Structure 1
């Protein structure tokens, strides 16, 4: 991770940590790097944004920087992160930018940059951007006269992405009652159109963004509203997305949550049955539940484990050829169709399994017994110092010894916030709480916690 860019872009509170000056300079660099430096001519860069009020401000700042460096900027307007990735690949763009802070509250925002393959930008380029932001590269040349870039409306690209999603479905959804929680975010511009076109009886909530209500008591991070909605309306299934719709969590017909681990199992088992699970492996992260691994072992499905972040999941997939991977939080990657997590695509693949196997989601998910898991975040002054503290490490070792083979402890730093995450899995929630609090107590005792 760099100084500004974490595992999922440059993220922070708008006009505090992430400013229009930052956005302008990111645009200046990318326009120059992919245009004047690489080709000696103008380049084409596509931009999408979520529904935060500040997204418009950052969009205009990025466009100013891009066109000043001689790039042409193509605007998808409000759209999903995976749609930007898809458009880059299929429409021959040099790179792309998504303006979003994903599941964060409305007052945060972020800049995600993708390369010409629609993948997260290479670390070498990120480091160059950061050098420019810190003034280590001097000024970049301005485009002049007819070399100045221009801006073009490219809503058609988003529409073609919607068509692409529709083409993936194997069956009509006619007769299925489907609930969608669009988190008042990017999915608002895409999800309902897809499910309506496939014939579902579509019931939508949190689909009226006002710039301030993205992720507010809704979406995949506040799934309780969708659970109640599915039960009240007797729906067959519900899907909840996050702010930029690269995540999906599901709710079965009984209102029970089906998280990313269970989604990986359901889709992975089905793909194996169809002969489509390359290498007979699924890619998980260290956050995946022990219950998932036990279920995969039972089915004879292998797995790789990566660091937390869909970036690392995709890196593994691209290196090994594994075709399914994801996170407990709902970032699921189907490499045949996408290079990033895609919440709406994930919904379609779950529907495929339900329809082809003629089984309810509750039945499909029941094959995985999830162990209780407690995760608490501790805000700290210095993440590296907290994790390197010998007393904290000893507290963690004591917990691991006590848990033995019946559970596990995961102690890690957030890639986007000044947080240490303490997670314990065990036979009961009470045991989890006890050992999580034991480690947090060590962090507080040594003065690492700031609140």
Structure 2
């Protein structure tokens, strides 16, 4: 891998310590501080957050050492959702941010993500300027003991994040005399474990917690968005009005309604779109209605959401399924909301996908309307989707697209399916695998198509 391409907007992922090494983090810290320092009249301030996976402390220590050696100031926020760090960065005086988290991955994996001072993902041009300084031969001279940077540990980061969240939520309603909604939260033993309960209690919810005691090794282990059977069973057993499961970083969430039916990100987005439409229906005629500009979605957004939006006159602006692309689309077009089925939802007043803000806003809709979550979700009919991953040899990467047998078979399936659904086949960037997704109203039919396509791809790519 060329050093000039090691840092990308989607982050740098790998196994902690053995692939994302402390030595690499030391160089990244030094290069980041030096690259930012070129355009600063002051020592660059870099915010750092991490989730509670075990290796994060060691990697953060190496990162801070590199930042100080490069003349920067490391503001260590501790365990905090990445969205929290991005929100603090956008509201305060930092010059950049770095998160060390692994999303829904097990504790062994980690991803290093970079953020501009706006809180949005750092643009490729700025990442390239950092990458250029990573090799030892390209590094600028280190600072001396007189002008090296410092480490500032921010013990109040969680409270600052909560305050910023509260300023962005609706004015609290008078809930006197009303039975509080009973909410279950599966925190995945991750970054929201210490944040979620106080936020939702401030909204007047009764909160029941599970998987909220991280030990560094249990993050995402049999819990959270990867194991939604846990939250579904909990909601049913304890008579909850709703349940929400997070990923370890607090960027994604999925929901279970009062009956235990799982709701994905597309259905949560539909609930929030409908709420916004209802609120704007009462505005004076001359005031702008931001839902008329539309919402941001991805090319894997459920067909049911597209029908929901079309029926209500909401333009859907489609882009690739990654935070930097959805946020860019929202920023360029002035869109109020965005999201996808994975549970990443985006808001115009937050620079990163924030699962806590998603949960809080859905709960406020339940409080305002007095409706059950199942009733709110009924605004959208959800089409079944079947997704499979097919591992392929590395030498088949990209060239599988030109295989005539694979292309003909996919085209034949698409023709048979017609307007009753869709087929998406694409290569995953992070590994040698092809993702097959088939969607339609007839589950048995789309399931057969998905497995048949996967079998053809597997049989063709096994041949030399």
Whether these two folds match at TM > 0.5 is yes
Q: Decide whether aligned partners of structure 1 residues 113 and 388 sit closer, same or farther in structure 2, where only a CA change above 3 A counts.
A: farther
What is the CA-CA distance between 1:406 and the residue it aligns to? 0.6
Q: Report the equivalent of 1:14.
A: 16
C-alpha displacement of 1:388: 4.2
1:443 corresponds to 2:457 = yes
Partner SS, residue 55 of structure 2: helix
Cα distance in 1 between the residues matched to 2:463 and 2:293: 43
Q: Is the 8 A contact 1:169 1:348 kept in 2?
A: no
Conserved in 1, the CA contact under 8 Å of 2:51 and 2:101? yes
Say which SS state the counterpart of residue 215 (structure 1) adopts.
coil
| 1:85 match | 86
**Partner in structure 2 of residue 48 of structure 1:** 49
1:400 matched to 2:420? The reply is no
Whether 1:411 and 2:425 are equivalent positions in the alignment is yes
State the secondary structure of the residue aligned to 1:395.
helix
Match of 1:117 in 2: 118
Match of 1:378 in 2: 390
2:284 paired residue number: none
The CA distance in 2 between the partners of 1:431 and 1:221, in whole Å, is: 26
Deviations, residues 77-106 of structure 1 (Å, cap 9, x unaligned): 111010010111111100001101111111
Aligned to 2:72: 71
> CA RMSD, aligned part only?
2.1
Taking a change above 3 Å as real, the CA distance of residues 415 and 273 of structure 1, as seen in their structure-2 partners, is farther
Say if 2:332 is the partner of 1:319. Answer: yes
Give deviations 1:128-175, integer Å, cap 9, x for gaps: 334444x39622221113210010111223211112223424335761
- Are 1:392 and 1:443, in contact at CA under 8 Å, matched by a contact in 2? yes
Contact 1:413 1:421 in 2 (8 A): yes
2:230 to 200, 225, 231: 225
The answer to whether residue 351 in structure 2 is matched with residue 351 in structure 1 is: no
Query: Cα distance, 1:448 vs. partner?
Result: 5.8
Check 1:272–1:225 CA distance in 2 against 1; reply closer, same or farther (3 A cut): same
Q: Deviations over 1:296-343 (max 9, x none)?
A: 2222222111111122111100111111001111110111x2011000
Deviation at 1:31, TM superposition (A): 0.6
**Contact map agreement 2:35 2:129 (CA 8 A) in 1:** no
Write the distance in 2 (CA, Å) between the matches of 1:128 and 1:386.
Answer: 34
Distance 1:3 1:411, change over 3 A: farther
The answer (yes or no) to whether the contact 1:268–1:277 under 8 Å persists in 2 is no
Which deviates the most, 256-265 or 410-419? 410-419
Structure 1's 449 and 189: CA in aligned 2 closer, same or farther, altered over 3 A? Answer: farther
**1:125, distance to aligned residue in structure 2 (A):** 2.1
- Structure 2 CA distance for partners of 1:213 and 1:6, relative to 1, 3 Å: farther
Output one character per residue of 1:25-69: Cα deviation in whole Å (capped at 9) or x when no partner: 11111111112x112541111100001111111101110110110
**Which residue of the partner structure matches residue 23 of structure 1?**
25
Q: How does 1:162-177 map to 2 (within 5 A)?
A: 162-167=162-167, 168-171=169-172, 175-177=180-182
Unpaired runs of 5+ residues, structure 2, are 281-288
CA distance in 2, matches of 1:306, 1:389: 27
Report matched runs for 1:89-100 at 5 Å: 89-100=90-101
After superposition, the C-alpha distances for 1:382-422 in whole angstroms (9 at most, x for unaligned) are 33233343433333222211211111011122243433211
Q: Distance in 2 between matches of 1:194 and 1:263?
A: 19
- The counterpart of 1:367, out of the listed 363, 376, 379, is 379
Tell me the SS of whatever aligns to 1:64: helix
Aligned position for 2:216: 211
Query: C-alpha separation between the residues in 2 aligned to 1:234 and 1:169?
Result: 27
Give how far 1:438 is off.
2.2
Q: 1:271 to 1:433 in 2, by over 3 A?
A: same
Moved more, 409-418 or 346-355: 409-418
For residues 276-298 of structure 1, the C-alpha deviation after alignment (integer angstroms, 9 at most, x for no partner) is 54434111101111111112222
2: CA distance between counterparts of 1:449 and 1:105? 33
Distance 1:159 1:419 in 2: 42
Return the match for 2:257 from 252, 255, 265: 252
Give yes or no for contact 2:114–2:122 (8 Å, CA) kept in 1: yes
Residue 21 of structure 1 contacts residue 61 of structure 1 at CA under 8 Å; is this kept in 2?
Answer: yes
- Partner Cα distance (2:412, 2:28) in 1: 45
Q: Whole-Å Cα distance in 2 between the matches of residues 152 and 282 of structure 1?
A: 39
Tell me: CA distance 1:388–1:57, structure 2 relative to 1, closer, same or farther (3 Å).
farther
* Aligned equivalent of 1:146: 146
3-state DSSP of counterpart to 2:218: coil
The answer to whether the 8 Å contact 1:5/1:11 transfers is: no
Counterparts of 1:354 and 1:318 in 2: how far apart (Å)? 28
